[in-house]
Structure 1
Amino acid sequence: MSRWWHGPVALVVIASLAVQLALIFTGGADANSGQTGEALRLGVRLWRLFSYFTIESNLLVLAAALVLVWRPTFDGPVWRVVRLDALLGILITGLVFAIMLAPQVHLTGAALAATVGFHYISPWATIAAWLLFGPRPRISWSTVAGAFVWPLAWLVYIFTQGAFTDWYPYPFLGRDGPGPRSSHPQRGLVVVLAPAFAALFKLADARMPALLRDTPTPDHRVSAPPERSAP
């Protein structure tokens, strides 16, 4: 049953990305910022597109959805980190866009359709799928620690390139005047919320029911020693 949920999620992300790429190649609006690319080279627009946390989160959602369509109970230590990254990233994407960015971005036409897919359907359908189907338990504290490698690497990348290009994908990541200080308290809020959401996912994973649950494995139970045959 979960395949019939994850499949449409994957299709939404693919369709949104296809629309956004078409807009990039034709000089249309960016679904993340609402800006057109008439003054920018195509390569710069593509680089900026894939620098957005929104796009990277949706790509993780797409990868996770495709794997879960293929095998709903797929498992592995790296996979657990990727799945948690997809959940964390897309939850932050949905909340930050709805609360902080949507009032500043005014889109129409194809760009609006893309942003609905990226910022509304993908986030909440992904979270709903995890709440309904799991599978769980799958999240350990080591999984939580591993899931922060990508967001921290993204932040380092964004601030490093921003020091040279003075471009930041989101207003609250920018700087005011000389130096890297920011007048936007939202930056600190996002940094604080990310660990809180990760902890909530961990606790919910251990306690909430799900339509797909793991059976005990040697990693979760103490195995009895093998019996020796009589001489």
Structure 2
Amino acid sequence: MGAARRWHVATAALAVGGLTLQLVLVIIGNPVLAEVEPPGLGLRLYRFAAYFTVESNALVAYAALTLARDPLRDGPRWRVVRLAGIVAITVTALVHFLLLRPLLDLEGWDYVADKVLHMAVPAVAILGWLRYGPRPRVSSATIWSALALLLGWTAWTLAFGQLDGWYPYPFLDPDEEGWPGVVVVLVGVLALVTALSLAARWWDRRPARQ
């Protein structure tokens, strides 16, 4: 097994393991994602899947699993998933470190799941992409499609939040922040995602060691 394949296997195992652990915690009703009184299981599962952290880790896990089978994997749709995963997991790490980490007071397995999904997976995913690629895989069309995928999550989150009053992150809640505050955050995140995508295209043009 080559170095690239070993790295992708480890990345997939870490992401899948972190997601599985967090899912188990949600199912048993731990308050980390369910506040003081957890809602019904169906709603807990939806809210689990609605978190950007979970979405980004799932994208990373899928891409890593496919790369573990074929380190030179390619294809138009796969390129979008790969880029969206790398950009999203980077945003996950940055937003968690800058905005969410001070709000959390976790212990035990909740703490472990948090660190795996917000720190360990981003680190290995980004380093693996920088080191092993595969490249070239990022075009202008790939960037636009990845941005559309990430913006789709935002639109769905805001629309569904208007229906049931729940938002996965406080800075997306217009009842708390007001719509002007939410718009400012979204513009900032969009600028960050765009900058990361363009940086990814620049790096993608460099030769990767397989």
> SS in structure 2 opposite 1:176?
helix
Percent identity, please.
37
Deviations 1:82-118 (A, max 9, x none): 1101111111111111111111111110111111111
Q: CA deviation at 1:177?
A: 6.3
Counterpart mapping for 1:37-52 below 5 A: 38-52=37-51
- Contact 1:48/1:169 (CA < 8 Å) preserved in 2? yes
CA RMSD of aligned residues (A): 1.8
Deviations 1:27-77 (A, max 9, x none): 1133xx5x5463411111110000011101111100000000000001111
Of 5, 8, 20 in structure 1, the residue corresponding to residue 7 of structure 2 is 5
Deviation at 1:81, TM superposition (A): 0.8
- Name the structure 2 match of 1:66: 65
Instruction: Name the structure where helix makes up a greater proportion of residues.
Output: 2
Cα pair 2:51 2:168 within 8 Å, conserved:
yes
- Once the 2 structures are TM-superposed, how far is the Cα of residue 176 of structure 1 from its aligned partner? 3.5
One-letter code aligned to 1:81: V
Question: Could you say which residue in structure 2 is the equivalent of 1:26?
Answer: 28
What is the aligned residue count? Answer: 208
Gaps of 5+ in 1: 213-231
With normalisation by structure 1, the TM-score equals: 0.84
Quote the Cα distance in structure 1 between the aligned partners of 2:183 and 2:112.
29
Q: Which residue of 1 aligns with 2:120?
A: 121
**Distance of 2:138 and 2:73 partners within structure 1:** 14
Aligned mates of 2:130, 2:176 — CA distance in 1 = 44
Contact 1:64 1:83 in 2 (8 A): yes
1:178–1:134 CA distance, 2 compared to 1 (3 A): closer
Cα deviation digits, residues 173-219 of structure 1 (max 9, x gap): 1113697343684433212111111111011111x33213xxxxxxx
CA contact (8 A) 2:170 2:176 kept: no
Change (3 A) 1:143 1:58: same
Partners of 1:177 and 1:67 in 2: CA distance: 41
In 2, the alpha carbon distance for the partners of 1:119 and 1:177 equals 24
Moved over 6 A (4+): none
| CA shift digits 1:102-145 (9 cap, x unpaired) | 11111110111111111001111101001111111111111111
Q: Which has the larger radius of gyration?
A: 1
* TM-score after normalising by structure 2: 0.92
Assess if the C-alpha contact under 8 Å between 1:176 and 1:182 holds in 2.
Answer: no
Query: CA separation in 2, counterparts of 1:52 and 1:39?
Result: 16
State how 1:43-192 maps to structure 2 within 5 Å: 43-176=42-175, 180-182=179-181, 185-192=184-191
Unaligned runs of 5+ in 2: none
Does the CA contact (< 8 Å) of 2:172 and 2:182 recur in 1? no
